[in-house]
């Protein structure tokens, strides 16, 4: 499973249509196009750090919806910025967010997104063994 996420990350980073250096808060749609980060009315925001509270830059965050039927998720993944921050608009519902980054063990947390609220969900990644 980890190989899959690194393959996805490699694809995202090598795609000529992406420029996260130009827009570190950009997200990636299922069409492979970046979109500027918009003000989050409802969704999730947070920070990804290591065990020494240093930001994990470029961590890949992916969602899994637990709702039936699942709400549409316009972005297939997002990346953290230079400070380890991320902001993601998600429709209200129950999700598991999974974070992976080279050199770290993946982490996952369940979150409930409620209408007209932004939920803070921080991750602290452990070094890979």
Q: Which H helix or E strand runs over 13?
A: helix 2-14
What structural domains and CATH numbers belong to the chain?
A: 2-125 (2.60.40.1120)
**Ordered per-residue pLDDT tens for the chain, 129 residues:** 444 444 444 434 433 233 333 333 444 333 343 344 445 578 999 999 999 999 999 999 999 999 888 888 878 899 999 999 999 999 999 999 999 999 999 999 999 999 999 999 999 999 998
Q: Can you give the pTM of this predicted structure?
A: 0.69
Please report the DSSP string for 32-83 in residue order: S-EE-----SSEEEEEEEETTS-B-TT-EEEEEE-SSSPPP-SEEEEE--TT
Q: Is the peptide bond between 69 and the residue preceding it cis, with omega within 30 degrees of 0?
A: yes
The separation between CA 22 and the C-alpha centre of its own chain, rounded to angstroms, equals: 18
């Amino acid at each position: 499973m980890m190989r899959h996420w690194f393959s996805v990350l490699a694809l995202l980073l090598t795609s000529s249509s992406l420029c996260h250096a130009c827009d570190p808060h950009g997200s990636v749609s299922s069409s492979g196009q970046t979109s500027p980060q918009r003000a989050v009315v409802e969704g999730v925001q947070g920070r990804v750090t290591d065990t020494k509270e240093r930001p994990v830059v470029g961590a890949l965050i992916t969602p899994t919806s637990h709702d039936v039927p699942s709400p549409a998720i316009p972005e297939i993944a997002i990346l953290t910025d230079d400070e380890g921050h991320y902001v993601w608009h998600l429709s209200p519902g129950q999700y598991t967010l999974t974070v992976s980054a080279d050199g770290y063990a993946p982490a996952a947390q369940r979150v409930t997104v409620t209408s007209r609220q932004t939920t803070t969900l921080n991750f602290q990644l452990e070094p890979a063994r």
